[in-house]
Structure 1
Amino acid sequence: MTVNVTPHLNFRGDARAALEFYREVFGGHLVAVTYADAHAAETPEQADQVMWGQVTSPEGFAVMAYDVPPSREWDAGAAPFFVSVRGDDEAELTTRWKALSEGAQVLAPLAPSAWAPLYGMLEDRFGVTWVLDVAAPHQG
C-alpha cells in the first residue's frame, strides 16, 4: 500500500487565488469545486468560493485548499503549520523559492545552513509558511 500525505490549507475567501499561485510556482493541474457547484452555498457571497480544490504536478507536488464556510469559526493563527518542500536539485528549489518569494516575508533566506546544503523559510502572501530545503544525507 502507498500512502501520500497532502497539506490541506484553509482560507477565508482566498483559496482560489492561493491555488492559482501555487500552480504558477509548482506547475501541474488545478481542480476547484465551488460551493455553488456542489449546491452547498450558505450565502450568496460563498457561491464562488472553493469548497474543494487541489493542485497536483507530475513531479509529485500536491496541495489541497478550501474556503472555510461562514458558519464555521476559523482563525489563521500564528504559524499553525509549515508546508515543507524538500528536493535534491538546488537549482529547481531555488526557482521555486524565487517564485514563492513574490510578495512574501522571508523568515530565513535560502542559503546553506548547518543542517542542510540549502534551507529557507518564508511566509507567502497568503499567510502560509513554507520551508524549502535540500536534505542532507542522514548520518544515523
Structure 2
Amino acid sequence: MPSLNPYLSFKNEARPAMEFYQSVLGGDLEVSTFGEYEGMVQDPNENDLVMHSQLTTPDGFVLMGADTPTGMEYRQPAGISVSISGDDEPQLERFWNGLVEGGSVTMPFDVPPWGGRFGMLRDKFGIDWMVAYSPAS
C-alpha cells in the first residue's frame, strides 16, 4: 500500500529540527549524512549535513527531512502546512504546545466555528503546522 509523507527541506537545520520533532511527537529517528556516501557533496564542510532523515512515531506518523547542500537551490517552505488531526484532545494539545515552543502562533488552538479545536503555527524552524481536534462521533 502506498503512503504519503511530508518531506521537509532545511538549510543546515535538518538535524536539530528532526530531533525537535522527535521530542514533540516521540518515535524513532533515523539520520544519514552526506559524508556517509562518497561524492554526495562538493564541500567537505557539508559532510555532517543530513542527506535523509525519517521520524516514525508511535502514532504511525512518518516525517522526513534533509538539508539542502550548497550545490542545490534552497527555497524556504511556503504555501504548505503539515497537519495533525484526530480525536484525542489531550494528545493534540501536547503536540500543539510542543510545536509552538520557540515558534509563533498564526491562529490560536481554540474552538473554531465548526467545532472541535483548531490552530495554526509556524515552528522555530519555519515550518507551518495545523493541529485539529474533532471529537469522536
Q: TM (normalized to structure 1)?
A: 0.91
| Deviation, structure 1 residue 23 | 0.2
Per the alignment, residue 21 of structure 1 pairs with 20
For residues 79 and 70 of structure 2, the distance between their equivalents in structure 1, rounded to whole angstroms, comes to 20
Contact 1:115 1:136 in 2 (8 A): no
Hey, which bits of structure 1, 4+ residues long, moved more than 2 A?
135-138
Per the alignment, residue 83 of structure 1 pairs with 82
| Deviation, structure 1 residue 41 | 2.5
| Deviation, structure 1 residue 58 | 2.0
State how 1:98-109 maps to structure 2 within 5 Å.
98-109=97-108
| Deviation, structure 1 residue 44 | 1.7
Q: Percent identity, aligned pairs only?
A: 36
Structure 1, unpaired ranges of 5+: none
State how 1:1-140 maps to structure 2 within 5 Å.
2-39=1-38, 40-76=40-76, 79-135=78-134
For residues 59 and 18 of structure 2, the distance between their equivalents in structure 1, rounded to whole angstroms, comes to 17
Counterpart code for 2:67: D
Counterpart code for 2:7: H
| Deviation, structure 1 residue 136 | 6.5
Q: TM (normalized to structure 2)?
A: 0.93
Contact 2:54 2:62 in 1 (8 A): yes
Indicate the SS of the match to 2:19: helix
Contact 1:116 1:133 in 2 (8 A): no
How large is the Cα RMSD of the aligned pairs? 1.6
| Deviation, structure 1 residue 48 | 0.2
Contact 2:87 2:136 in 1 (8 A): no
Structure 2, unpaired ranges of 5+: none
Counterpart code for 2:74: W
Counterpart code for 1:131: M
